[in-house]
Amino acid sequence: MTLRSPVLLVALQEWRYVCRQRLLLWLFGLLLVTVAIALLQSWQQARQLSEQQQAMQQIVDQQWQQQPDRHPHRVAHFGTFAFRQPSALGFFDPGVDPQVGNSLFLEAHRQNPANFSAAGQASSLSRLGQFSPAFVLQVVLPLFLMLLAAAAVLREREQLTGRLLLAQGLAGWQLRLGKVLAYAGLACLMVALVQLQVLLVQVVTIGVSTELLVSLFGLWLGYCLALLACIALAVWLADGCRDTRQALLLLTALWLALVVVMPRVMPFWLQPERLDSRVLFDAGVKAELRAMGDSHNPGDPAFGRFREQVLERYGVARVEDLPVNYGGLLMQEGERLSSEVFERHYARLQAQRTAQEQRLHWTALINPLLALQQFSMALSGTDPAAFRDFEQQAEAYRYELIQQLNHLHTHQIAFENDRGQRVSQAHWQAMPMFVHQPEQLAQLWMRSALPLAVLLLWCLLLGVLCYRGGRR
């Protein structure tokens, strides 16, 4: 597009108009200040959470290390905590993090749910929703830009300048796309200024990495595409509206539907079967575990077949004659089986969740702001998948830790007088503590690719609609 391009000329003219409207400039300034406040508050919360977690991690590590010489299975039941490392961009878009919790208690025989969620610990008022830069960009800015873009189209019509422009030989699509370009440019600038604020906070606090810069660029791109879609939608609708009042009503209703109603209603509509609640999930797992038998009891008939296999493998007739502690072996087997039960139930729950999330992804096809929400959470590492990754890392660590302790039980504790014996604390002091590894950028991009493609599709579709024009 050259400087002589009519589309660019219309856009430049609109920018000139905006720059000469003091009220609009104040509004833009106010929006930036609002984002800055949201950013500071969100960053403050993230910092507090991080500090609390570090302090808790130290206490938990100390408690683990300071356990005296004791029976390994007591250590397994003493347990420890796995803390989720906050995402670097969690303060920009907290996503589902405030709801899902940040720590898991790890112990033998059971997989506990996450706890200490920010929402759960917050006062009743702050549970209404976290104020974050992403909230402002996803909820407030689209409305603001949609109304401005629609007003720009209707102003040309109602003040009759549009008619005079068309009479000079400007095509209708050039006028519409010029307006879209003008406000898309403003949207890009606004998002860039917000990303700059985020970058500044990162520079001052933890420093900047290439990954962070790539993520920020990705977020800028995604938000620009979504806002471009909103602006094009507003221009196209305004072009077909009778007057400003009709456009204002239509756009406000549309904003309510896209931003307020659909994101809250869709998950319920798209849930043909309700997800198992945690209580139901636990009850299902417990019922199977009860039927499986008690691995604490070497004489439990439910493990009779296992005992026979062990005796046969070692070529002895009695468990007392085994060179290793049968109780420890039973614990290992019990842990393996209980993990299998849990994994099976967990996989079923995950399949339900994944199916629901996939259906939600499809809804992005009818709402670009849902695509933006999914994209932003995914790239910020605060979507449900990022939390599941933490759960899976923690479970893998828990299983490995408990089996190591069961191994100690098997080899360091004699079968006779099992519960009266202890092993040195040096064993668990040497065991590595859990360290959450946040997902790699490539994984985040893989999850963001689909909503980003949907946003691109929306922009293309609305670009074509704007090119073709409304009814008037």
Partner 1 sequence: MSDRVESGPALQAQALCQRFAGQAILNGLSFEVEPGEALCLLGHNGVGKTTTLNHFLGFHQPLSGFVRVMGLCPQQQPLQVRRLIGYVPEDAALYAHLNALENIDYFLAAGGQPRPALEQLLVWLEQVGFPLEAARRPAAGYSKGMRQKVVLALALAKQAKVLLLDEPTTGLDPRSADELAQQILDLKSQGVAVLAVTHDLLWAHQVADHLGIMQAGRLQDLIAREHLQPHELADRLFRASGRLVVEEPAI
Q: Is 468 in the site for partner 1 (CB under 8 A)?
A: no
Stretch of 8-16, 122-130, 237-245, 337-345 contacting partner 1, by CB under 8 A? 8-16
Identify the DSSP state of 256.
I
Stretch of 5-13, 141-149, 400-408, 439-447 contacting partner 1, by CB under 8 A? 5-13
Burial class (CB in 10 A: 0-12, 13-18, 19+), 163: exposed
Which residue lies nearer to partner 1 by CB, 240 or 284? 240
Least CB distance to partner 1 at residue 227 (A): 25
Which residue lies nearer to partner 1 by CB, 344 or 468? 468
- Binder to partner 1 among 2, 123, 124, 168 (CB under 8 A)? 168
**What φ, ψ does residue 80 adopt, rounded to 5°?**
-155, 175
CA distance 41 to 39: 5
- Dihedral over Cα of 240, 244, 245, 247: its sign: positive
Which residue lies nearer to partner 1 by CB, 17 or 217? 17
What residues form DSSP beta bridges with 82? Answer: 104
**What φ, ψ does residue 93 adopt, rounded to 5°?**
-135, 100
**What φ, ψ does residue 458 adopt, rounded to 5°?**
-60, -45
Q: Is 9 in the site for partner 1 (CB under 8 A)?
A: yes
Which residue lies nearer to partner 1 by CB, 21 or 54? 21
Site string for partner 1, 411-450 (x = CB under 8 A): ----------------------------------------
How many C-beta neighbours within 10 Å does residue 283 have?
12
Which residue lies nearer to partner 1 by CB, 6 or 384? 6
- Binder to partner 1 among 32, 40, 166, 355 (CB under 8 A)? 166
Would you call 436 helix, strand, or coil by DSSP?
coil
- Binder to partner 1 among 164, 200, 261, 449 (CB under 8 A)? 164
Site for partner 1 in 171-210 (CB under 8 A): 171, 174
Q: Is 10 in the site for partner 1 (CB under 8 A)?
A: yes
Q: Is 163 in the site for partner 1 (CB under 8 A)?
A: yes
Q: Is 252 in the site for partner 1 (CB under 8 A)?
A: no
Q: Which among 234, 248, 257, 300 is positioned nearest to 462, based on CA atoms? A: 234
**What φ, ψ does residue 303 adopt, rounded to 5°?**
-105, 15
Q: Is 153 in the site for partner 1 (CB under 8 A)?
A: no
Residues comprising the chain, all counted: 472
Site string for partner 1, 385-404 (x = CB under 8 A): --------------------
Which residue lies nearer to partner 1 by CB, 20 or 471? 20
Q: Which residues of 359-383 are buried (b: 16+ CB within 10 A; e: fewer)?
A: ebbebbeebbbbbbbbbbbbbbbbb
CA distance 334 to 378: 37
Q: Return the residue matching tokens 């471009």.
A: 228
Which residue lies nearer to partner 1 by CB, 263 or 469? 469
Least CB distance to partner 1 at residue 26 (A): 17
CA distance 59 to 76: 18
CA distance 422 to 69: 6
Which residue lies nearer to partner 1 by CB, 135 or 467? 467
380 neighbors 93 (Cβ within 8 angstroms): yes
Count residues binding partner 1 (CB under 8 A): 21
Which residue lies nearer to partner 1 by CB, 63 or 159? 159
Q: Is 13 in the site for partner 1 (CB under 8 A)?
A: yes
- Binder to partner 1 among 4, 22, 264, 274 (CB under 8 A)? 4
Rg (CA), the chain: 29
Site for partner 1 in 15-54 (CB under 8 A): 16-17, 20
Least CB distance to partner 1 at residue 4 (A): 7
Least CB distance to partner 1 at residue 449 (A): 39
Least CB distance to partner 1 at residue 232 (A): 20
- Binder to partner 1 among 58, 65, 67, 159 (CB under 8 A)? 159
- Terminal alpha carbon distance of the chain: 27
Strand 110-115's sheet: what is its strand order?
A: 80-83, 103-107, 110-115
Stretch of 4-12, 56-64, 258-266, 308-316 contacting partner 1, by CB under 8 A? 4-12
CA distance 62 to 315: 43
106 neighbors 98 (Cβ within 8 angstroms): no
- Binder to partner 1 among 23, 125, 128, 167 (CB under 8 A)? 167
List the helix and strand counts (H, then E) for the chain.
19, 3
Residues near partner 1 (CB under 8 A) are 4, 6, 9-10, 13, 16-17, 20, 159-161, 163-171, 174
